[in-house]
């Protein structure tokens, strides 16, 4: 363990975990020895459902335990939150999401999308932080030490707001996020790590909520992203929704009842549709059966319908077509054709669908690489990157790209791109601009991100004023605007009047919807929750000890009873009753006292039994 944590200079490094924060499932990995490894959760599963639920009494549930109670507590069970992170309320994507979930999506104070559950509204960063806290806990249970640092992956096509919101979620979870990296890049890193290959790789990443395609050149330990694109609202959830709508429409046509209007029925339908979709990856047909899904005139109605793979593929064919269209555009941006790609790596659970595999294989005209687990490879790549950032001797250099263009607003509502999308980062670009009015003394630099030629259709990142420009006719002043992006994706913008030397600049750190006060409050709440949770775990350990001793005493008592007399038996039974009462009351002091009493009784009865 000590050797694994030593850097090339011989000093002990902090352990860095790699986290794939997924829409449907999340995964955590660590670099140990000479390779990365996925860390299983307490149930022994390699991945954990990205689900958070709020039970009675405010108790928070995360992962499999949250998923198991989703039907009976649908209003307070949050899934798919990643689709909402960094998004504004009222956008088409948020409206679409709100229509397909049982919980309520509401408008926050800063116009951001929030989630109403458990009697209060939560920012999406908080919900994501609860999942990240579970990943952190899984790693700490495995390592036996506190984990402070993490590399977290995001879809390649996430914008700055979504990336910063993810980083904020990590901070709320008590993690120092030392790098945010793109999911396809992480997958390529895991796939090519320590392999002596020189190849062009396409990473096709279709997960639960997002789709990405990245084209990389891999060779001599260098992983260079040439082009990336995607759709942050295209994934397995959309496949599920197509089947949900089909089943609900068929039920409505037969019985006149829309199951989507009943939240519990909708949640049952969601689970059945997701299970059917997964089963159809290796079966030709499945029966979807949901007894007592509704009632009409006090008569229970059951849903029973056969779903074939052919039917499912007809429902989702256009979604798969959309992924191929994005692949085509991404290859063109890289100056590639499908024949220039040596290997196609499939990432994300939805890539198990036979239709997806057939279409991708047909487009690239070559067999797909299937030597990796699509659910785990992204976390493994994040763990490698985390280790590489700590130990310079690791032979893995990532050259990633900025997924969207950056520029400034120009006169008349135009948009001038300064750094084009798919430019390798870190990067710096300088472009000359001038004034649009005679004797103009100041210019406002409005920093934008996006691909539309109209500024209003792009994302506003920030703005600042460059003042005290030398009076001159319009078009004469020479103003140099410089953009730089570092390896962490932080954007710096500088405007300089070359005539006077006057300069102004801004560091664009998109808020992600959280103020410093919000972050501080959430971190305080996390610490309070952790203290309360540790206290509850301590109580549970004492309760377990009391209950275990109670069971052992009841087991040996019949054999010892003839030898201890009625008075002693009465005393034992009284102590057992007091122990049971302390368990129900959860009084720590009483529990500890009764545990000690039961331990003495157990040892005494054991001695009596052995003496016989």
Which residues are identified as catalytic?
Answer: 20, 82, 183, 205
Query: What residue has token string 């908080």?
Result: 126
Joined tokens for residue 5? 């944590």
What single-letter DSSP state applies at residue 207? -
Distance CA 86, CA 517 (A): 18
Contacts 24+ apart (CB under 8 A), 277-284: 277/236, 277/239, 277/240, 277/243, 277/312, 277/353, 278/352, 280/307, 280/308, 280/309, 280/312, 280/353, 281/352, 281/353, 281/354, 283/309, 284/308, 284/309
Q: How many helices (H) and strands (E) does the chain have?
A: 12, 29
Burial class for 506, CB neighbours closer than 10 Å (0-12, 13-18, 19+)? middle
Distance CA 313, CA 277 (A): 10
Query: What residue has token string 């049982």?
Result: 102
Contacts 24+ apart (CB under 8 A), 368-372: 368/344, 369/191, 369/343, 369/344, 369/345, 370/346, 372/187, 372/190, 372/191, 372/345, 372/347
Query: What residue has token string 């279409």?
Result: 359
- Residue 228 DSSP SS3: strand
Strands in 51-54's sheet, in edge-to-edge order, are 60-62, 51-54, 77-79
Alpha helices in 345-414 (DSSP H): 354-364, 377-390
Query: What residue has token string 């993810």?
Result: 166
Q: Are 22 and 382 in contact (CB under 8 A)?
A: no
Beta-ladder partners of 214: 203, 228
Alpha helices in 199-284 (DSSP H): 236-255, 263-279
Distance CA 30, CA 18 (A): 6
| Phi, psi for 351 (deg, rounded to 5) | -75, -5
Q: Are 445 and 493 in contact (CB under 8 A)?
A: yes
The DSSP code sequence of 53-119 is EE-GGG-EEETHHHHHTTTTTGGGEEE-GGGGTT-BTTSHHHHHHHHT-SSEEEE-TTSBEEEEETT
Distance CA 139, CA 38 (A): 9
Rg (CA), the chain: 29
Please state whether the peptide bond connecting residue 371 to the residue before it is cis, i.e. omega within 30 degrees of 0.
no
Q: Are 378 and 27 in contact (CB under 8 A)?
A: yes
Q: What is the largest CA-CA distance in the chain?
A: 112
| Phi, psi for 320 (deg, rounded to 5) | -65, -40
């Amino acid at each position: 363990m000590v050797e694994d944590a030593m850097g090339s200079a011989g000093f002990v490094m902090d352990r860095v975990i790699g986290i794939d924060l997924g829409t449907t499932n999340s995964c955590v990995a660590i670099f140990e020895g000479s390779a990365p490894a996925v860390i299983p959760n307490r149930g022994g599963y390699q991945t954990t459902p990205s689900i958070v639920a709020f039970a009675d009494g405010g108790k928070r549930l995360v992962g499999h335990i949250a998923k198991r109670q989703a039907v009976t507590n649908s209003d307070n069970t949050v899934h798919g939150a990643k689709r909402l992170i960094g998004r504004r309320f009222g956008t088409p994507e948020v409206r679409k999401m709100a229509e397909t979930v049982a919980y309520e999506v509401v408008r926050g104070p800063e116009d951001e999308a929030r989630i109403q559950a458990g009697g209060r509204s939560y920012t999406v960063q908080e919900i994501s932080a609860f999942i990240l806290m579970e990943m952190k806990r899984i790693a700490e249970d495995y390592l036996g030490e506190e984990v402070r640092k993490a590399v977290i992956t995001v879809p390649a096509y996430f914008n700055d707001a979504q990336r910063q919101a993810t980083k904020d979620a990590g901070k709320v979870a008590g993690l120092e996020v030392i790098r945010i990296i793109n999911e396809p890049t992480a997958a390529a890193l895991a796939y090519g790590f320590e392999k002596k290959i020189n190849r062009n790789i396409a990473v096709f990443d279709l997960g639960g909520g997002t789709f990405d395609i990245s084209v990389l050149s891999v060779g001599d330990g260098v992983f260079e992203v040439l082009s990336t694109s995607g759709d942050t609202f295209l994934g397995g959830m959309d496949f599920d929704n197509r089947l949900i709508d089909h089943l609900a429409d068929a039920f409505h046509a037969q019985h006149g009842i829309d199951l989507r209007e009943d939240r519990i029925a909708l949640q049952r339908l969601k689970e059945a549709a997701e299970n059917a979709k997964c089963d159809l990856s290796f079966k030709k047909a499945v029966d979807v059966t949901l007894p007592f899904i509704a009632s009409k005139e006090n008569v229970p109605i059951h849903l029973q319908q056969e779903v074939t793979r052919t039917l499912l593929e007809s429902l989702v064919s256009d979604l798969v077509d959309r992924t191929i269209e994005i692949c085509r555009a991404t290859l063109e941006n890289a100056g590639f054709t499908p024949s220039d790609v040596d290997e196609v790596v499939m990432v994300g659970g939805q890539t198990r669908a036979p239709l997806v595999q057939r279409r991708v294989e047909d487009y690239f005209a070559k067999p797909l690489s299937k030597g990796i687990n699509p659910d785990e490879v992204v976390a493994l790549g994040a763990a490698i990157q985390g280790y590489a950032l700590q130990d310079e001797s690791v032979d893995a250099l990532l050259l990633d790209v900025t997924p969207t263009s950056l520029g400034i607003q120009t006169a008349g509502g135009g948009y001038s791109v300064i750094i084009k999308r798919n430019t390798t980062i870190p990067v710096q670009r300088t472009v000359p601009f001038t004034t649009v009015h005679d004797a103009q003394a100041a210019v406002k630099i409005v920093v934008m991100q996006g691909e539309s030629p109209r500024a209003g259709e792009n994302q506003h990142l920030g703005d600042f004023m460059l003042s005290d420009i030398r009076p001159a006719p319009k078009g004469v002043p020479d103003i140099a605007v410089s953009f730089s992006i570092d390896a962490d994706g932080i954007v710096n913008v500088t405007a300089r009047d070359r005539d006077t030397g006057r300069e102004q600049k801004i560091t664009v750190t998109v808020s992600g919807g959280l103020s410093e006060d919000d972050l501080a409050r959430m971190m305080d709440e996390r610490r309070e929750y952790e203290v309360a949770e540790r206290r509850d775990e301590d109580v549970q350990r004492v309760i377990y000890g009391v209950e275990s001793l109670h069971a052992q005493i009841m087991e040996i008592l019949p054999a010892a009873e003839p030898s201890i007399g009625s008075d002693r038996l009465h005393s034992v039974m009284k102590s057992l009753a007091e122990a049971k009462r302390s368990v129900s009351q959860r009084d720590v002091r009483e529990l500890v006292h009764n545990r000690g009493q039961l331990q003495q009784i157990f040892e005494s009865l054991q001695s009596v039994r052995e003496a016989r």
